[in-house]
Structure 1
Amino acid sequence: MSVPLDSPALALRAAIHAALADDGALTALIGGARIHDVPPADAAFPFVALGEAVVADWSTATEAGTEHALTLHVFSRSGGRAEAFAIAAAIGEALHDAPLALAGHRLANLRATTAEVRRDSDGRTFHALVRFRAVTEPL
């Protein structure tokens, strides 16, 4: 199955990326606009990566809609859990109920649902997972 170019999932990812890159509080915490769809192998820490998305039909009998379950990832190597939690909180502040403009779609809502921080198996990287739920509608 191919993803159409006017996909609400791709439009939402692009809007989230732009909102995070433009958020001064977040970029101050991560040292610039270190927000990646696919992080480079030599990405400087800390950074944010747009992660998994589960997309489901949210249509009614009369209206089309799409539900999105999104995960954003934070990777930190200095400051441990405290830095990872601070960055996760900044992401939540930047995106929770944000009125993002999506190409070809309308964002009905965007809600932060959970955040967790864990230590990766390398023993020195802390990894935060920040999860969101969104609903979009076609224009």
Structure 2
Amino acid sequence: MSDALSLPVNPLLALRAAILTVLGGDAELGRLMGGQVRIHDEPPRGAAPVYALFGPAEMRDDSVDGALRHTHRLGLILFARPGSSRGAIEAAGRAAALLHEALLSPAGHSLSVLRVESLACARDERSGETRATLTLQAVTERLSTGSGATP
């Protein structure tokens, strides 16, 4: 297995940053999220929904013929106000439309494919908040270092 954590730019972090760039620049998604796109690593204290968190993520080595490739499966979880699933579903739908087969440019990598695998919705019994979860699949490949050698 390749040592992805020691790469110049971690493929998963590069992919997340590219996703943030695309989603963060979309005015319609910002409107659906209450005025601005809010995507976090951890739940923000005291923040009112609609906001999003990066959810579970998995990156696997998929190297072939000297090309350092990785497959990714990652979640983006959108939270809506209690009693309103519509906000989370609309924001998740907009994010899905922006990301499905998008031509992102993760730093240090090329993106072969990015697909929305699923959009699932569930209500938290305790808080009443609806969570819409986008599950994304992607394949990245490390860009050549320019030395002509493959990693």
Q: TM-score, normalised by structure 2?
A: 0.84
Give 2:79's aligned residue. 75
Partners in 1 of 2:32 and 2:62 — Cα distance? 35
Give 2:147's aligned residue. none
Residue 136 to residue 113, structure 1, CA distance change in 2 (3 Å): same
2:10 is aligned with 1:3: no
> How far is the alpha carbon of 1:6 from its aligned partner?
1.2
SS in 1 for 2:37: coil
Partners in 2 of 1:15 and 1:2 — Cα distance? 18
| CA radius of gyration, larger in | 2
Alignment of 1:1-139 (within 5 A): 3-4=5-6, 6-31=9-34, 32-77=36-81, 80-139=84-143
More displaced, 25-34 or 127-136? 25-34
- The residue type equivalent to 1:38 in the other structure is E
> How far is the alpha carbon of 1:63 from its aligned partner?
2.3
Residue 6 to residue 42, structure 1, CA distance change in 2 (3 Å): same
SS in 2 for 1:73: strand
Q: Is the 8 A contact 2:112 2:140 kept in 1?
A: yes
What does the per-residue CA deviation read over 1:17-64, in whole Å, with 9 as the maximum and x for residues that have no partner? Answer: 111111122111002121112232222211011121100011113422
Residue 63 to residue 3, structure 1, CA distance change in 2 (3 Å): closer
Let me know the Cα RMSD of the aligned residues. Answer: 1.8
Partners in 1 of 2:99 and 2:111 — Cα distance? 12
Residue 82 to residue 8, structure 1, CA distance change in 2 (3 Å): same
Residue 79 to residue 19, structure 1, CA distance change in 2 (3 Å): farther
Stretches of structure 1 that go unaligned for 5 or more consecutive residues are none
Partners in 2 of 1:85 and 1:62 — Cα distance? 41
Partners in 1 of 2:122 and 2:25 — Cα distance? 27
Number of positions where the alignment pairs a residue of Structure 1 with one of Structure 2: 139
Q: TM-score, normalised by structure 1?
A: 0.91
Stretches of structure 2 that go unaligned for 5 or more consecutive residues are 144-151
